[in-house]
Every structure is written in structure tokens, then in C-alpha cells.
Chains A and B, each alone.
Chain A
Amino acid sequence: MTSLLTVEGLTKAYPGVVANDHVSFDIAQGEVHALLGENGAGKSTLVKMIYGLVTPDSGHMTLRGAPYTPAEPRAARAAGVAMVFQHFSLFDALNVAENIALGMENPPPMRQLAARIRTVSETYGLPLSPDRLVGGLSAGERQRVEIIRCLLQDPKLLIMDEPTSVLTPQEVEILFATLRRLSAEGTAILYISHKLEEIRSLCDRATVLRLGKVVDSCNPREKSAAELAEMMVGAKLVAPSRAGGDLGDVVLEVAGLTLPAATPFGTTLRDISFSVRAGEILGIGGVAGNGQDELLSALSGEAHAAPDSVRLKGQSIGALGPSHRRRIAVLAAPEERLGHAAAPDMSLTENALLTGAIREGLAARGFLKWPAARAFAEKVIETFDVRTPGPGNAARSLSGGNLQKFVIGREVLQRPEVLVVNQPTWGVDASAAAAIRQSLLDLAETGTAVVVISQDLDELMEISDRFAALNEGRLSPPRPAVGLSMEEIGLMMGGAHDMEVAHVAE
């Protein structure tokens, strides 16, 4: 196999961190090459340099034997390098064809482009209608827009950043079939992921990054997932453990919860019903954008629902606001850390006050008790090993993992009867993720009813007693987590169902 892209000694430093430290590797033509590493290992910076979004401090690249120094993404695309972003670079208010045209150098007239979109999307098994508004598409369909945008330019190298994080297991299979076909046609694929099984089933080679450096390179098919994990993390990980105590009475009961979408592209919750017992962890899976945020809002009190649709030990609480719910020990930690769970520019003390004022008694007749708030923040920092110089630092100065530990810790320490968390370990490094999962298990141990909404199925299987899945605002009936197969989980998440619909709608 001939080398397509060679990367030699790429270095990129940001204030305080060396994101990439003399990174070297090469990708052969038609190869599916995995870039494996934890959050913060430097994978994103590396591919941004390859795609021309970031200029390296030193080092050089060659593409098909010629020096390759893309000054901007346009140059990268002209050289045959295309990229599908993890957080899609799409425009909700524009239609599919317009979105695709924006990613092309010289797009044909709209009508012609629409026809080509149809052809290419059919050819690769990714049906897509060119005149639908992107804001109304599911996460999987949005990804297709990105992929087709790339394919229309005949790329030699396709970079995919965590592509399966938004797909159901069935949709992952469809995607992999497309990628294998592309690879067979001679297109190289740089596949970024931290999901080991996927890499083992798809990739020909893997380059492992840790703390900005290449630590190893291997054929992932010859390694076990455990071996890969050890390469990636650099240490053996201890899986969270739980004693598995007895479950108590039903604490939280949701029955026939229906909530219209608050925003034009939001999801409507439809007839959601479940119950959680004291000491139980209910895992709620599903692909992004199927009502996760909305469900959390309905449970945290940010969105008002019918009073009887949410009950705490028989008491109707559906119409209570967040402050009322905190008073009765129904707490929540939303997905978006900066700007929702925490105010980025405020200090940790102020952020402790944000949800802790009521239960921790941080205010008396409206007047704030700053020393008490500070003490509470310090307690969270200490108990949950949050790495920060002190509670006076702004939330935005913390790393994702540390801020997430703070956000979860802030709720756990308030002794909730019910705790609802959304994406508790999203974008968090492995050790922090393990600590957070352990803390949720420990909390359930003390008799709290815990609802974990997550898109990470491995995580849910690891900590949940029962599992349910959100699909287009509906919740599947919860089933015991033990013994569920990936196939069954995928079907609960809607299988590849919405894709079929897209196909028929052509």
C-alpha cells in the first residue's frame, strides 16, 4: 500500500498545554486508520491541523508525496481532504442542498446539485432529501448531510470525528457499510474514536495518542479491547462497583408526561411514563435530539408539565418550578455544563449558590451568606477531587472533567431523594468519568432514586438497574439492564427506523 498522508513531528502548543507533541504517523491509500485516545489526548487538534483549521507550530506533512501545508480548510478540501465534524457544522435554518453547497468550492446550480445529492446519497445507502430544512433532521440524518457534503468532492482522505456518538447501533452498521465501501473504492478514512469495539471491527490500523504524544501503533484487530484501553489510558481502569442493595418503594413516578416543544427545532415529549424506586438507577438512552434536554427540563422544573404527570411519593409536582423541586429534594444536573448547569464567568462559590441556596441554607430572608456558600463550594471541591486553585476561580477556567465533577458533586452533596442527570460524563476524561459513575452508584446505595440520561450505551449498561430509550420524544418501556443485547437496545432506540422514513419520503 502506498502512503497517502504522512505526518512528521507535528507540534502545537496552547497556553498551558502542549496539545500535540511531535506527532508522527502515516495513512495509506484506501486504509481505515483509527486515531485512538481519551478526551484531551490531542486528537481534535491533530485533525484540525490536517484540515487546515489550525496551523502547527512545527513539523510538516506530505500528501501524495508533495508537501502539504493547508492554510485554511478550503485548501485542504482542494487537496482532497474532507472532514465530518463531531459537532456538525450545519445551519438549521437552511435546507440540505444549501448546507451542502456551503461546503463546496464551486457548487453547481441548485437544481443540478439537488439531483447529485439524490444520486450520491442513494449510491452510498444514505438516502436524503435535498430540500428538507436541516433543523428538522434527526442526528443521524444530519450526519449524512455532512458525509454527502464530503463525498460530493471525491475526497482522497475522509476524516470522521467521533461519528457514531449520535447513532443507534443499527445506524452504526449502515454507516460502517458505507465506510467500507468507500475504503474499497480507494478513499482513506481517518477515524477518530474512543470506542474500542468499533475500532476493532472497522479499522485496519490504529495510532494511539496520549497526552498529545503518539504512544503506540497497532493493528486493532489483533488486540483485545482491554489491551487497547490500556494503551489509551496508560493504566488499568477499575470498573465502578456496587454492592447491589435492595430497592425501596417507588419515589419518582412519571405518568403520561406530554410536553410541546419549546423551540422551533425542539422535540415534543409524548406520553412518557416510568417510575424509579429508592436506590435504583434508571438509565435512559437514545440518540441526541430525541427529547433528552426536554425530559430533563420537565424533571428539573424548568419546563412546566401537567401537575399529575410527575409525582414524588404520590405528591403531584409536575407544575412546580426548580426552586420548589429543590426544596423537596428533587435535583438535576443538565448536560451543558457551561451556560446551563453552571454560569461560565461566575466563581465556583457563586455556582455553588446557583443550586445550593435552598437546601444548604445559603441565604436568609433573601440575604446571601457568602462564607457559607464558599464553604459549600470548598466541600464539593474537596469531596469530589475537583482540580482548581480555589472556589474563587471562574467556572470556565476548569477543564471539562473537573467542572463536571463539581456540577455532579454539588447536587450529590445536597442529599437528593431524586437525582436526574443528563450526559454525566460527556467530554470527560476516563478517570473523571469513572469517579462520576462511582459517585452515582454510591448515591443510589444511600437510597436515592437516580435517573441517568446518556447517549453512551456502555455507561448506561455499566451503572443502570433498568434501561429505557428515548426516540422522537417517546420513551420505550423500561427493561432490566442485565442481559439486554446491543440488538435489543438498538431496537428500543428506534433501530434505523427514521432512516427508512427518509427513504420513503423521497
Chain B
Amino acid sequence: MDLSAIDPVVLIASLMVAATPILLAAIGELVVEKSGVLNLGVEGMMITGAICGFAIAVETGSPTFGFLAAMVGGAALSLIFGVLTQVLMSNQVATGLALTLFGLGLSALIGQGYVGLKPPATGQLDLGPLSDIPVLGRILFSHDLVVYVSLALIVGVWAGLKYTRAGLILRAVGENHEAAHALGYKVVRIRLMAIAFGGACAGLGGAYLSLIRVPQWTEGMTAGAGWIALAIVVFASWKPVRVLLGAYLFGGVTVLQLNLQAAGLAVPVEVLSMSPYLITILVLVIMSADRGRAALSAPASLGKSFHASS
């Protein structure tokens, strides 16, 4: 075993890359859950985004179009969930599961002709002299645009929820949809918009996997990333900045275990491979054990169907 092969600077830089897909999906899901909707279909939307982005990027030769297509694909899929749960009032848990199962099938179907192809490369953003700063430059200023988009999204969602009227209304709808309705807010419309936003974020996250992180298309390539994103929202107690923390923690574990596998640590590969999932469970347990806080920060209407009956 050779631990000295692991360079901490590279490790941190690559953990940001490893964390970005989950970060994107999680921040989208946070907005959805803040509006009072539990969409368990993140995995399905991510994998759909992964293939949509991959296919369009390959066909057009432009990763940018690929990312846009991934967002559209994720949002379109999420709106199936939206219509079913918001208009037809189906059970959110069941519908979210259906979305995941359907997304896995659909993506495999679309992806038939794309197995084994290489996508067009996404260039890293040219930040000029910034990326030449020792250590910091390598860690912070040598990434592709999507990494910065994901960070901007975190800040944007945080500020939006805290300081804007739209954010206040979104929180209100998630807290008590009956009261929001009584005040004249369009609960269903607001939730559909949140769901579509969540879908677009998950799609973008998926495309980041297939276009940058891996980069190629394989069936089921998200391998639970969507579920981990859901867990991170709980871990973060529905706070955007803690989503960042959670996703980077997870990214760190992933990258570290891959590095340890490469370094030939005397632990079975399978144990290292399962460690991200086990650590996610552990973190979930720690967070949920603190009952009072968990109950206080979860949106009160989360997962409940709304029907304007009056």
C-alpha cells in the first residue's frame, strides 16, 4: 500500500467534482421539499438527465446543449410526477418510486445506441492567473463551469429562500398549504414550479456524471446518487449551506475510498465500495436521533396531498 500516492490537493479538487452531481440534485430536491413535496424520483430524473445530456452532447457535439437538454429532460420527467401528485393527488411516495423505476427504464431505452461512446470534452473554465495560484488555484479555480454553477445555485437558493418574497411564499406553501391557499396563493402552481426546478437540477447533476465525471454512458450509472442526494437534504436539515457540506463530505468519502482502492489498502474492495452508502446511513441516523431539531426544520406539509375543497 502506498498512501503517499494520494495528493491532498488533487483529492480536494476531485472531491468537488465527485460531489457536484449530488450537490445539484440535492439543492433541487431541497427546493421541492421546502414547497412541501417529497419527490423520491431523484434517481430517475438524474439518470434521465444523464442520458439526455449525453445523447444531445454526442449528437450536437456541444456539451452546453447537452447540459441544457439534461435540464429539460429532468424537468419534463419531474412534471409527470408533478401532474400525478399535484393535480391527480396520487401518493407522493409511490409516485416518486414509479418515477425512479420509469426513469431507469427510459434512460436504458434511450441509451441503447450510446454505450461505449465518448462524449465531447467539456473544457475547464479559463480563469487566467487565478488558476496559477499555488494549491488554491488547483483546488478552487481549475474547474469546469458546472462546478461554479452548482456553487452559485447553493448561494442563490439560500438567499432566495431567506430574503426574497418568492422564497417566503415557497416556504409558506411548504409549511401550511391550507393557510397559503386561504391567503390566495396558488399552491399547486407554486409546487409544480418547484418540482420542475428540482427536476432540472437533478437532470443537470445526471449529465455532469455522464459528460464530465465518468465520462461515458452505462445503464444505471447513477448507482444510488439520487438516493444519496435525498439523504443529504435530510442531513442538511433543509438548509442550503449544509447541503454543500453534506455533498462535499460525501464526495470526500467517495474520492478517498477510490484513492484507497487504487493505493491497494488491505481492505476488501467491496467494503470500500459500500462505504459511501454506509456513511450516508450513519449520518442519517445521527441527524434523525436529534428529534426536536429534525421535527422543527422539516417543512410541516411535507408529503401531504393538497386539494382545495372550500
Contact = CB atoms under 8 A, between A and B. Distances in A.
Q: Do chains A and B touch in the complex (CB under 8 A)?
A: yes
Interface of A: 48, 52-54, 72-74, 77, 85, 88-94, 98, 101-103, 107, 263-264
A52 B181 CA distance: 12
Interface residues of B, number: 20
B172 A52 contact: no
Contacts of B295: 263-264
B168 A103 contact: no
A98 B179 CA distance: 13
B110 to A, nearest CB: 40
Contacts of B176: 89-92
15 contacts: A48-B310, A53-B310, A73-B184, A89-B182, A91-B171, A91-B175, A91-B176, A92-B175, A92-B176, A93-B175, A93-B296, A94-B175, A102-B168, A263-B295, A264-B296
A102 B180 CA distance: 8
B165 A94 contact: no
A263 B295 CA distance: 8
A107 B184 CA distance: 15
Contact of A52 (B165, B184, B185, B296): B184
A72 B180 CA distance: 13
B219 interface: no
A187 to B, nearest CB: 20
B296 A91 contact: no
A264 B176 CA distance: 16
Contacts of A98: 168, 172
B182 A73 contact: yes
A77 B169 CA distance: 17
A67 B184 CA distance: 21
A101 B171 CA distance: 13
A444 B301 CA distance: 41
Contacts of B180: 89, 91, 102
Query: 6 tightest A-B contacts by CB?
Result: A73-B184, A89-B179, A89-B182, A91-B175, A74-B184, A264-B296
A98 B180 CA distance: 13
Given A73-B183, A91-B175, A101-B165, 11 more contacts: A52-B184, A72-B184, A89-B179, A91-B172, A91-B176, A93-B299, A94-B168, A98-B168, A102-B180, A102-B183, A102-B185
Interface string B294-310: 01100110000000001
B113 interface: no
B169 A89 contact: no
Contacts of B300: 92-93
Contacts of A48: 310
Interface in B34-60: none
Contacts of A90: 176, 179
B292 interface: yes
Interface string B200-229: 000000000000000000000000000000
Nearest to A93: B175
Interface in B147-185: 165, 168-169, 171-172, 175-176, 178-180, 182-185
A56 B102 CA distance: 43
Nearest to A44: B310
A91 B184 contact: no
A475 to B, nearest CB: 25
Contacts of B165: 101, 107
Contacts of B296: 93, 264
Nearest to B301: A91
Contacts of A102: 168-169, 172, 180, 183, 185
B191 to A, nearest CB: 16
Given A94-B172, A102-B169, A107-B165, A54 B310 contact: yes
